[in-house]
Amino acid sequence: MSSPTLEAARISFLTPVVQAGRQFGGDAQRCHTRRVDPDDRSARIIAANAGFEIVEVEGRVWFFDRRTRGPGIAAAVSGGVAGITLINAFVMALGALSGANLGGSWWGALALGGVAALAGGVCRAALALRQRRLGCKRADLRPIAMVDRAGGTVLDARGTAIAPVAQVRAGRGMLIGSSAPALFLRPPGGGRIEVFRGSLFGGGIERAQVALAKLGFSR
């Protein structure tokens, strides 16, 4: 059996070691569970075009899509309807005012004016929705995919591992109904994930291509 003096010396020696171990373990746990914010001030936009963004913060890379298909189409259609009906209403009102026989009346001009106002309201609301999505925080968006640089892993929107980066092919391709080039990730299990899109005339993807190559994707 050890003497009280030796026991006290052993406790005195081990106490700093245990405290250091606890501190190291706590720091490691905090580092592991620390959430990386894509809206952090240190966020670096690697590439952005046509509503797509590739953003990196502290070794985590996000692929975002800010496009608004529904509101964008609604704004274009309602804006066109508003413009056409407003012109017709103006011509009809001008004919009624001048007494020219243009096949219209004041009531017709007022009706067309009402349709133009309604279509204009729809267009304005659709543009507001589109602008809201374009200006919202990245943390409020659902990412297309993510890359963990430290682990060399491609993750889905929920953070679940898809495959190692080296096993995922990245390259350009085309979409049905669009002449703009796009960049896709092709996991080993099949399928493809659109992560970036260029302009209508074929440009705008060069920086994104370089970024994907630096991340370690195969071709």
pLDDT digits (tens, 9 = 90+) for 141-168: 889 999 999 899 999 988 899 999 999 9
Catalogue the E-assigned strands of 19-105.
44-49, 52-57, 60-65
pLDDT exceeds 50 at position 25: no
What lies within 8 Å, CB to CB, of 137 at 6+ separation is 39
Average pLDDT score, the chain: 76
Distance, CA of 11 to CA of 20 (rounded, Å): 14
Residue written as tokens 């267009």?
A: 123
When comparing pLDDT for 17 and 122, which is higher? 122
- pLDDT 10s digits, 61-101: 999 988 766 666 777 788 888 888 888 878 777 777 776 65
pLDDT classification of 13: cutoffs 50, 70, 90: very low
CA dihedral sign, ordered 81, 87, 92, 97: positive
pLDDT at 33: 37
As a residue count, the chain comes to 219
> Which residue matches tokens 């889905």?
156
Strands 60-65 and 52-57: antiparallel
Which phi and psi angles does 194 have, rounded to 5°? -75, 120
The 10 Å Cβ neighbour count of residue 68 is 19
Other Cβ atoms within 10 Å of 163 Cβ, number = 14
Q: What is the pLDDT of residues 185-201, one digit of tens each?
A: 999 988 899 999 887 76
* Residue with more model confidence, 64 or 124: 64
List for the chain the helix, strand, coil content (%; round to 5): 50, 25, 30
Contact 53, 196 (CB under 8 A): no
Number of helices (H) and strands (E), helices first, in the chain?
4, 9
Output the six-digit token pair for 73. 């189409």
Name the band, by pLDDT with cuts 50, 70 and 90, for residue 2. Answer: very low
